[in-house]
Amino acid sequence: MKPTKPVLQALILADHVYTDRGTGKNVIAGTFNQLWANQFPSKLGRSAWAFFCLTDLKGKVVLSLKYINLSNNEVLMQLDGIEATCKSPLQSVEYAVELPPIPMPDVGAYAFELYAGTEMLGALRVNVARLGDK
């Protein structure tokens, strides 16, 4: 029997992700999928987080998160070695990863893609625009 891959239930970009001390719940603040810059190339000048939720996770899986320029499929950023573990595939597990400055080489469509090994679990499209073109 072929092992099943984890199921991506959510992939969100946010200004901040933190855990509420009282409830243990993750709080996702300032979600976005649009970036702006005055000039290009540029980078996002503030911190940002990627939040993702997985289910059907069996044991330990090593994940990678890639930021791709969709016009030419160039990988602009890659975070490897994100270890996800779960005791039961019936549970959902949540992770938040602080991102390095997000590159914005030009206006256009980009994507954050989450992988388990070489298999893509899902993606989030991000649009980059020139400030003033809102």
Q: Residue 101 belongs to a domain with what CATH number?
A: 2.60.40.10
Whether residue 60 is contained in a domain is answered as yes
* Residue 79 bridge partners (DSSP): 65
Q: What is the pLDDT of residues 69-121, one digit of tens each?
A: 999 999 999 999 998 888 887 889 999 999 999 999 999 999 999 999 899 99
pTM of the model: 0.91
Q: Total domain count for the chain?
A: 1
- The residue segments making up the domain with residue 48 are 7-130
Whether residue 48 is contained in a domain is answered as yes
Whether residue 2 is contained in a domain is answered as no
Distances (CA, A) of 109 to 10, 34, 69, 106: 20, 10, 7, 9
Whether residue 70 is contained in a domain is answered as yes
- pLDDT greater than 60 at residue 57: yes
Residues in the chain: 134
Whether residue 1 is contained in a domain is answered as no
- pLDDT greater than 90 at residue 58: no
Q: Are strands 74-86 and 59-69 parallel, antiparallel or unpaired?
A: antiparallel
What confidence tier does 44 reach under pLDDT thresholds 50, 70, 90?
very high
Whether residue 115 is contained in a domain is answered as yes
Predicted local confidence at residue 1, as pLDDT: 42
Peptide bond into 41 cis (omega under 30): yes
C-alpha 3/C-alpha 23 separation (Å) is 34
Whether residue 53 is contained in a domain is answered as yes
Whether residue 63 is contained in a domain is answered as yes
Alpha helices by DSSP H, the chain:
none
